[in-house]
Chain A
Amino acid sequence: MTTRLHIDWTRCDGHGSCAELLPELLAHDDWGYPVSRTGEPEPAVPRQLDGLARRAVSACPLQALSLRPAG
């Protein structure tokens, strides 16, 4: 059961803390919004990045991130 990083696009305003904390998973697009680097729109979070992912979720000023268990 993988954990995936979900972006609530109705909240995301391209602040950018998440891409700073998780550069392996996220880059930014032409307009500052996070874009997945893994090829899937919701990047799977590997075990070693789990702690950082949780911090990113907590730190997002717009609460646009969440971690969800998914296949």
Chain B
Amino acid sequence: MMLTASAPPLGERRLLADHPSSPLPRVSTKELIDLLTHAGLTGRGGAGFPTARKLASLDGRRPVVVGNAMEGEPLSHKDAVLLQHSPDLVLDGLTILSDALRSSRTILALGARVPAPQPRRGIEVRRLEDSFVAGQETALVNQLNGHDPVPTDPSTPVFRRGVDGRPTLVLNAETLAQLALVVRHGSEWFRSQGHPDDPGTFLVSLTASTERLLPQAGVLEVRRGIPIRELLERGGTDLTCLEAVLVGGYHGAWVPASALDAPLSRGGLAPYGATPGAGIVHLLDVATCPLEAAARVTEYLAEQSARQCGPCLNGLPRMAETMRRLARPGADPRLVDELARLQTLVSGRGACKHPDGTVRFVASTLRVFDRHVDEHVRGYCDRDLPRRTVR
């Protein structure tokens, strides 16, 4: 089944290694599901869903396969780098699925910042309107169906009815590339890096709130479960200026600088309410007021609401306004209670997880920076306002 002319990449450099072209192995859907189950590949687009299960849940014949390279989150750069450096891997993943599933259509959806690959037969490349929520699974399918790039009611999952009304499989570009490597080199090889419960490698978009903290922002490929400290050191971080690490982007959670030994895996990050997500790691400088940074993020998230769902459309701006007031020294202590109330009010009330992700970020901010919140309430802030800011 796994006939490959090229040797499997050694070490952590897999997606970003050189890939001499070789004939693509053909696999059936069943073989593919078994392979992916043994490999333990999970989605690299944010939700981290087991890929084998997603494949198995496809309901019906002649499905549509969609590669998600929308990369609508401002802090994320990995899909752009992947499509720049190893576009064939992504296309291989699509081809493998297209052949196995006998898909009626195979589409690669690109956001504005992602370069288009060389054309390949059978794969439609669509440049789509991107925004923070446009990369969400149902929003992407909705846009491909000619409607607005906004989420649809989750009661009809896309694996039952999606593009053209057909069962649709949406996978992140990096997941597709990993899938292609698993098919070429096997599940054992895939598991040779990473953690038994969270195997393989992944791409991390590393950015920071100041230049002195991280002189060179970039995308690194590392094994799952890598301790945060090791990642930051490899990225060239000046740890002496580090206040905290935002893992998972704007819908993620903070890990304080005192906890850098935490591994970047589902298990390792769980105590902080975070997941590896789409591999976004953003660093906060000690000079940056965390509440100011968080207020700006919350304002951005509120602005990015699709505006379809009342609780999100109204609740997120209220949260942002409250965070903004908390970010000013001399803040009313009752603002924290108001934030708690708003969090319960918007959680789970919307067509997508945008409000929930915002709540996760705000809750984490108040938890990790509780001392700083106290200082603001008492009337002072010991940070300079940063010149280079979050986003």
- Chain A interface residues toward B at CB < 8 A: 6-14, 29-33, 35, 41, 66, 68
Contact = CB atoms under 8 A, between A and B. Distances in A.
B347 interface: yes
B360 to A, nearest CB: 15
B115 interface: no
Contact of A33 (B150, B308, B310, B318): B310
A29 B318 CA distance: 13
B30 to A, nearest CB: 28
Closest 9 CB pairs of A and B: A41-B348, A9-B309, A33-B310, A8-B153, A31-B314, A9-B351, A10-B308, A10-B351, A9-B350
Contact of A10 (B153, B314, B347): B153
Contact of A9 (B314, B345, B347, B349): B349
A30 B346 CA distance: 11
27 contacts: A7-B349, A8-B153, A8-B351, A9-B153, A9-B311, A9-B349, A9-B351, A10-B152, A10-B153, A10-B309, A10-B351, A12-B309, A29-B310, A29-B349, A30-B314, A30-B318, A30-B345, A31-B310, A32-B310, A33-B310, A33-B311, A35-B311, A35-B349, A41-B347, A41-B348, A41-B349, A68-B155
Interface of B: 150-153, 155, 308-312, 314-315, 318, 345, 347-351
A13 B310 contact: yes
B310 A6 contact: no
Nearest to B312: A9
A31 to B, nearest CB: 4
Given A6-B155, A9-B351, A41-B349, 5 more contacts: A8-B153, A10-B151, A29-B310, A29-B311, A41-B347
Contacts of B308: 9-10
A11 B155 CA distance: 13
Contacts of B155: 6, 8, 66, 68
Contacts of A14: 310
A29 B309 contact: no
Contacts of B151: 10
A35 to B, nearest CB: 7
A2 to B, nearest CB: 16
Contact of B345 (A11, A12, A32, A35): A35
Given A8-B153, A14-B310, A29 B351 contact: no
Which of the listed residues A11, A13, A29 has the most CB atoms from chain B within 10 Å of its own CB?
A29
Contacts of B153: 8-11
Nearest to B309: A9
Which of the listed residues A7, A8, A10, A12 has the most CB atoms from chain B within 10 Å of its own CB?
A10
Contacts of A29: 310-311, 345, 349
Contacts of A12: 309-310
A17 to B, nearest CB: 15
Contacts of A68: 155
Nearest to A12: B310
A32 B311 CA distance: 9
B344 to A, nearest CB: 9
A14 B349 CA distance: 13
A49 B308 CA distance: 29
A29 B350 CA distance: 13
A28 B158 CA distance: 30
A10 B312 CA distance: 11
Contacts of B314: 30-31
B54 to A, nearest CB: 20
